[in-house]
Amino acid sequence: MKPIYLDHMSTTPIDPRVRELMIAYLGGAESNTFGNANSPHYYGYEAKNAIELAREKVASLVHCDPLGIVWTSGATEANNLAIKGIANFYQRQGRHIITSTIEHKSVIECCQYLATQGFEISYLKPSSDGLIDPMQLEKLIRRDTILISLMHANNEIGTIQKIEKIGAIAQARGVLFHVDAAQSAGKIPLDLKKWPIDLMSFSAHKIYGPKGIGALYIRTNPRLHLVPLLHGGTQENSRRAGTLATHQIVGMGEAFSIAQRQMHEDGLRQQYLIEKLKNALNDIGNVSINGSTKHRLPHNLNLSFADLDHELLVGALKDLAISTTSACYASPSHVRTNQKSYVLKAIGLGDDLINNSLRISIGRFTTEAEMEQVIFHLKQTVASLRKNHEK
């Protein structure tokens, strides 16, 4: 029997409707869609039309100009393109960048690389509930600050940052603002028409689409410039060279379209299932929730079991496919345990609680019956471990 999948913040299973549409664009010579979207003939036009429709679908979910959507291989590339691209283009105006200590590795390591190139990086520290104080951020802004890069929703503890307020501060001070929205797109509303955000990163596989495709929103009015990461072609208005993967892009577009139609319904159902689990924690006892209990994604819980041995806990939960850390820095396994979470450390947890933490994230296809099994398994496992510990 397969373990119950509770690791949707790592990746999501592809939605059958997405898979079906992608297959239609994986045709051979008998199909109309195998052409290179840059080719000036019928087959190229067919591929290009499919790509532009997908671009409109992505833009529709986040309420932005479709011309601002640039295809990438995923959110990691989008984050690199945003941060390095802006830094390299605007470095004559300044070489100071602000980010936080709880960002995704693709942001933190990108900033660490820029530090070796003469840029100065300031790291915001979150509060104990995982939230960034906008006033603290404002104090860090200097005359040479060119970019602020923060994630919308954290990939480990699920906390949601006040990006509207932060964006307003950045705009007022003339600083560009990049947001990593890989975890929030399709889970909570995003509105780039109203919010003062200059760049935003997206990923398909966090939202029931295929792996290997993502996008970066780049503000179009007034136009924003950046230095591309890849050279060798004029694709994406010379912002990202390379032949476009039509089937991947079509899949991402459909995943975003489905999310737009189902986001509210999915969120309510997942919140209901998470509340069932939270109520069960009262029976389990001696369990703490990491991160804000109010400002968080509806499908995530990050838990610490204070009195349980880490190795025994994760080993006993073999029937649950869960993580203890972000998959970006953990080894492959049904429970990933090899490195401590820098996110939990940043919000003030000690090694004992970090070691005994679990990240539980459910999804569109998680059933109530599965959640009841999860609760039963957790209760039984924890009770058994505590009983053995007392002996």
Q: What is the DSSP string of 305-365?
A: ETTS-HHHHHHHTTTEEEESS-GGGS-SSSEE-SS--HHHHHTT--HHHHHTEEEEE--TT
Amino acid sitting at position 144: D
Distance of CA 321 to the CA centre of its chain: 19
Is 323 within 8 Å of 330 (Cβ atoms)?
Answer: yes
Looking up tokens 């993502």, which residue turns up? 214
Helices 75-90 and 105-116, axial angle in degrees (round to 10) = 30
Residue by residue, DSSP assigns 192-256 as TTTS--SEEEEESTTTTS-TT-EEEEE-BTTB-----S--S--HHHHTS-S---HHHHHHHHHHH
Name the residue among 325, 344, 343 with its Cα closest to residue 335.
325
188: left (phi over 0), alpha (psi -120 to 50) or beta: beta
Residue with tokens 């998959």: 327
The catalytic position among 64, 110, 111, 328 is 328
DSSP 183: T
Q: Which residues contact 172 (CB under 8 A, 6 or more apart)?
A: none
Residue 328 appears among annotated catalytic residues: yes
Amino acid at 11: T
Let me know: does 96 contact 146? Beta carbons within 8 Å.
yes
**Euclidean distance between CA atoms 228 and 246, whole angstroms:** 21
Strand partners, 160: 153
Distance of CA 201 to the CA centre of its chain: 8
Positions annotated as catalytic residues are 328
